């Protein structure tokens, strides 16, 4: 298991799949494009889930569960939505040996189901807002798949909310984008760009789609979360009306927002290195691994067990007492991205100290046992800060301003992949032309606009927005 992995430089894609396999995050199954999430990978997801869920609850959201099937007629109710999703859904046609009277698709997303439910339960302004969220799996019949990043089935959460007015729904869309951005930065130590998707790139059925975009080690962008404002489009299609305070019937305004198990892919490609995974402490299934050195010597095993008992009230701790050599164990937990390794041997015990080793830097420190908890806490905090800073530096170093299509081509050729900042007239034709000529597509119109120049990078006409462009996962 602790064979060497392909280096990032040599073959980034292979480095990625090596980590996925060798850190025991995921396994393939005989169902093409569907994954087995192994205990270690699932534990990362459980931590992501629990920390996000408490943020959703703190912002007033409630969890529900909707059916996994959508009748074909229900999917068809909103025109843009069905056009976007029908080509990539899995269809159930038989129950047992009987053909169904109507095909059911396995949910690719659940707007239609939430809308149907909202039409039933919303009558008055007193019923608003509805702030629902669901944790579940969804299915999209992708042609090409990659572990965590693009699979036919994936785990996610989908928030679906209904509001009395546009203003409140827009505020919700923005609030949840902020929740995602803060989560990525504070918990996953991954800086993101917040922005709006262009018209051509928005969710099927949305008035506006907002996204957070992160920068991976290899210069490719990764969309880490999206938040959509629907206006009253779905409400009109599904007839979701409420009587307001003046007893007038009005359509609700809606939003939806989601993040998926691809966040695990983002963690790998933001923080990993040639020794394997590097996990942000808050989502690491094991924060400190204790490895006894010369464990056969008197008192070592006992001391290691004592330290475990001490630490586990504050940290997620594992003590490895297996027969493998310390060196083998060091490599194994490096591969698995455990933030801190604690080594304890006879000499350490004699000196009332232990060794703490940071996963990201490999830095060793001798720590007096009476200061162990405080030092471990400090190191975890420093590691989180360091990997964030490193990821931020990567994002900054790989962001280039360009004033022409030729400059984009030249930059990509000389510097490699990254974010290209460039001005844009707002015309879809220019967006397409840039993509065709350079290979990078629009990522988002960032909230933090810069006035690079006043002309569109493509047609030279007056620019409306600065856009981020890039190749994306």
Residue numbers at the binding site for a second copy (CB under 8 A)? 27, 29-31, 34-39, 42-43, 45-46, 62-71, 74, 86-97, 104, 106, 113, 116-117, 120-121, 132, 136-137, 139, 141, 152-153, 155
In the block, tokens 């959460």 appear at 157
Residue 154, beta-bridge partner list: 138
Q: What are phi and psi of 62, to 5 degrees?
A: -120, 145
CB of 242 to a second copy, least distance (A): 17
- 197 vs 226: CA distance, rounded Å: 9
441 in helix, strand or coil?
A: strand
Q: What are phi and psi of 219, to 5 degrees?
A: 90, 0
- 197 vs 190: CA distance, rounded Å: 20
Beta pairing class for 62-63 and 130-139: parallel
- 185 vs 54: CA distance, rounded Å: 16
The residue among 45 and 330 lying less far from a second copy, judged by its C-beta, is 45
The residue among 115 and 311 lying less far from a second copy, judged by its C-beta, is 115
Asked whether 244 and 125 are in contact (CB, 8 A), the reply is yes
The residue among 83 and 377 lying less far from a second copy, judged by its C-beta, is 83
What's the chain's length in residues?
A: 473
- 456 vs 432: CA distance, rounded Å: 13
CB of 71 to a second copy, least distance (A): 6
The residue among 91 and 447 lying less far from a second copy, judged by its C-beta, is 91
CB of 452 to a second copy, least distance (A): 41
CB of 156 to a second copy, least distance (A): 12
CB of 453 to a second copy, least distance (A): 43
Tokens of 390: 């490193």
CB of 60 to a second copy, least distance (A): 11
The residue among 71 and 346 lying less far from a second copy, judged by its C-beta, is 71
The residue among 39 and 460 lying less far from a second copy, judged by its C-beta, is 39
The residue among 104 and 463 lying less far from a second copy, judged by its C-beta, is 104
- 435 vs 386: CA distance, rounded Å: 35
CB of 103 to a second copy, least distance (A): 8
Please state, in angstroms and as integers, the Cα–Cα distance from residue 47 to each residue in 35, 97, 164, 299, 419, following that order: 19, 41, 34, 34, 30
Kind and range of the H or E run holding 156: strand 153-163
Furthest C-alpha separation in the chain = 81
The residue among 31 and 429 lying less far from a second copy, judged by its C-beta, is 31
The residue among 239 and 363 lying less far from a second copy, judged by its C-beta, is 239
Residues 6+ apart with CB under 8 A from 82: 75, 76, 204
Asked whether 248 and 236 are in contact (CB, 8 A), the reply is no
CB of 58 to a second copy, least distance (A): 13
Beta pairing class for 153-163 and 130-139: antiparallel
Asked whether 12 and 216 are in contact (CB, 8 A), the reply is no
CB of 159 to a second copy, least distance (A): 13
Q: For residue 102, count other CB atoms closer than 10 A to its CB.
A: 9
Residue 400's Cβ-side half-sphere holds a number of Cα atoms within 13 Å equal to 21
- 318 vs 366: CA distance, rounded Å: 20
The residue among 61 and 353 lying less far from a second copy, judged by its C-beta, is 61
CB of 29 to a second copy, least distance (A): 5
The residue among 155 and 444 lying less far from a second copy, judged by its C-beta, is 155
Closest CA to 226 of 314, 156, 144: 156
DSSP assignment letter at 371 = G
CB of 39 to a second copy, least distance (A): 4
The residue among 86 and 208 lying less far from a second copy, judged by its C-beta, is 86
Q: What are phi and psi of 164, to 5 degrees?
A: -75, -25
- 192 vs 391: CA distance, rounded Å: 10
CB of 81 to a second copy, least distance (A): 15
């Amino acid at each position: 298991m602790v064979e060497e992995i392909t280096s990032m430089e040599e073959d980034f894609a292979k480095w990625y799949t090596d980590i996925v396999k060798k850190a025991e995050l995921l396994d393939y199954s005989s169902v093409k494009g569907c994954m087995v999430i192994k205990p270690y990978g699932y534990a990362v997801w459980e931590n992501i889930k629990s920390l996000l869920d408490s943020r959703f609850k703190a912002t007033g959201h409630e969890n529900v569960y909707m059916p996994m099937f959508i009748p074909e007629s229900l999917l068809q109710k909103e025109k843009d939505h069905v056009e976007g999703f029908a080509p990539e859904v899995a269809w159930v046609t038989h129950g047992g040996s009987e053909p169904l009277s109507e095909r059911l698709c396995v949910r690719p997303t659940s707007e239609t189901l939430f809308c149907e439910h909202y039409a039933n339960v919303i009558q008055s302004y007193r019923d608003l807002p509805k702030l629902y969220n669901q944790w579940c799996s969804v299915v999209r019949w992708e042609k090409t798949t990659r572990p965590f990043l693009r699979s036919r089935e994936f785990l996610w959460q989908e928030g679906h909310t209904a509001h009395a007015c546009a203003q409140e729904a827009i505020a919700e869309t923005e609030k949840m984008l902020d929740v995602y951005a803060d989560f990525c930065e504070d918990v996953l130590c991954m800086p993101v760009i917040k922005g709006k998707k262009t018209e051509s790139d928005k969710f099927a059925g949305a008035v506006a789609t907002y996204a957070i975009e992160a920068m991976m080690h290899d210069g490719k962008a990764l969309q880490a979360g999206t938040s959509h404002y629907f206006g009253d489009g779905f409400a009109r299609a599904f007839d979701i009306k409420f009587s307001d305070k003046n007893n007038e019937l009005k359509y609700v305004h809606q939003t939806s927002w989601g993040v998926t198990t691809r966040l695990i892919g983002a963690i790998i490609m933001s923080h990993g290195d040639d020794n394997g995974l590097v996990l942000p402490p808050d989502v690491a299934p094991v924060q400190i691994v204790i490895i006894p050195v010369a464990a056969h010597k008197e008192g070592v095993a006992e001391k290691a067990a004592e330290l475990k008992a001490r630490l586990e009230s504050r940290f997620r701790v594992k003590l490895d007492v297996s027969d493998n050599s310390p060196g083998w164990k060091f490599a194994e937990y490096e591969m698995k991205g455990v933030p801190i390794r604690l080594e304890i041997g006879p000499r350490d015990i004699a000196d009332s100290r232990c060794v703490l080793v940071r996963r990201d830097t490999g830095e060793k420190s001798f720590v007096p046992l009476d200061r162990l908890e405080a030092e471990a806490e400090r190191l975890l905090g420093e590691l989180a800060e360091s990997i964030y800073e490193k990821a931020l530096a990567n994002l900054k170093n790989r962001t280039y301003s360009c004033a022409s299509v030729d400059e984009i081509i030249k930059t990509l050729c000389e510097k490699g992949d990254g974010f290209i900042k460039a001005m844009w007239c707002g015309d879809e034709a220019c967006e397409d032309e840039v993509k065709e000529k350079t290979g990078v597509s629009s990522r988002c119109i960032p909230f933090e606009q810069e006035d690079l120049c006043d002309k569109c990078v493509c047609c030279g006409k007056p620019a409306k927005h600065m856009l981020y462009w890039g190749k994306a996962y």
